[in-house]
Amino acid sequence: MKRTLFVTGLVAFGVTAAIAQSNVVEQRQNLMKEMAAQTRPVGAMMRGQEPFDLAKVQAGLKVFAENPKTFVTLFPENSKDAPKTEALPTIWENKAKFESIGNKMSQDAQTAMANIKDEASFKAEMPKVLQNCGTCHNEFRKKSS
């Protein structure tokens, strides 16, 4: 009887850990999806395919300021080889650098928020924020084939 309870407990623990692992991957991927959703209108404005809209730019910058900071905290050791993650092991080998790119992106977005007043300042400032996407992906995300 005791043994059965113990085994049941272990199984329950294993399941909980698996759920926690998939949740953390889902959470961080959702934060990225939100960033990608903001990049679309902003990119269209950069290319002149959509009229400049300061309110939309500010809404995007808010997400670029907030999401990366939370994002870099969602990489517990046990999520390293979770199924469905595109995170590279280099994240855990170089956590400090990984976190610093996330924090830099957040900082750059706040600077841009203060500096962007019109279309000209938007075109000058926004690329500085968005270049962080590629910098981080190159080193820390699996290349999608």
85 binds ligand HEC (CB under 6 A): yes
Using the CB atoms, write b or e for 59-74: b if 16+ within 10 Å: ebbebbbbbbbebbeb
* Residues near ligand HEC (CB under 6 A), total: 25
Provide the terminal-to-terminal Cα distance of the chain, rounded to the nearest Å. Answer: 52
Q: Which of 72, 112, 116, 126 binds ligand HEC (CB under 6 A)?
A: 72
128 binds ligand HEC (CB under 6 A): no
Give the type of residue at 16. Answer: T
Cβ(69)–Cβ(107) under 8 Å? no
Cβ(137)–Cβ(46) under 8 Å? no
Q: Which of 17, 86, 90, 124 binds ligand HEC (CB under 6 A)?
A: 86
11 binds ligand HEC (CB under 6 A): no
Where does this chain bind ligand HEC (CB under 6 A)? Answer: 25, 28-29, 32-33, 35-36, 39, 64, 68, 72, 85-87, 98, 101-102, 105, 130, 132-133, 136-137, 140-141
